[in-house]
Amino acid sequence: MSFNSIYETSGSAMRAQVMRLDTIASNLANADTAASSADEAYRAIKPVFSALYEQVNDGQSLSAKVQMLGIVESDRTVEQRYEPNNPLANEEGYVFYSNVNELEEMADMMSASRSYQTSVEVMGRVSSMQQSILKLGQ
């Protein structure tokens, strides 16, 4: 595997983690939003990723990158609260709140941050290896 392939793989992993962090930020920003119906309530979103394998160096080695397939909404039910004095309450007095689980989002955020940091470390080590190779010729 060439250094360029390692950079491309780490870069795709970093882009994936940034997408995870973007969706987590959106979910946390809308965690306590209210709506007048279940259909209007904010639903948590999650990115979906896949590994993309390809042959490199004339088929001598295999490289894998992260591919974004899309974003899906959570199928968890929205929270329904009885708040008849709320201006968003429906005819029965219920207000609907997002289905975002803040603890789950915080755990995902820590995982995404750590994965991003790991990819940065990989790139740093590859750069260090390249510098060492250049010094061999001196």
pTM of the model: 0.84
Tally of CB atoms within 10 A around 110: 11
Per-residue pLDDT tens digits for 26-80: 999 999 999 999 999 999 999 999 999 887 666 677 788 999 999 999 999 999 9
What's the whole-number mean pLDDT along residues 4-24? 92
Predicted local confidence at residue 1, as pLDDT: 61
The pLDDT tens digits of the residues spanning 112-133 come to: 999 999 999 999 998 888 888 8
Q: Give me the residues paired with residue 34 across strands.
A: 97
pLDDT score, position 57: 66
Confidence category of residue 24, pLDDT binned at 50, 70, 90: very high
Task: Quick: pLDDT tens for 78-110.
Answer: 999 999 999 999 999 999 999 999 999 999 999
pLDDT at 5 over 70: yes
pLDDT at 59: 67
| Those residues with Cβ within 8 angstroms of residue 17's Cβ, 6 or more apart along the chain or in another chain | 112, 113, 115, 116, 119
The pair of structure tokens assigned to 72 is: 């899906």
| Bridge partners for 96 per DSSP | 35, 80
76 phi, psi to nearest 5 deg? -65, 140
Which residues, at least 6 apart from 18, have a Cβ–Cβ distance to it below 8 Å?
A: 116
Q: Residue 97's closest CA among 89, 85, 108?
A: 89
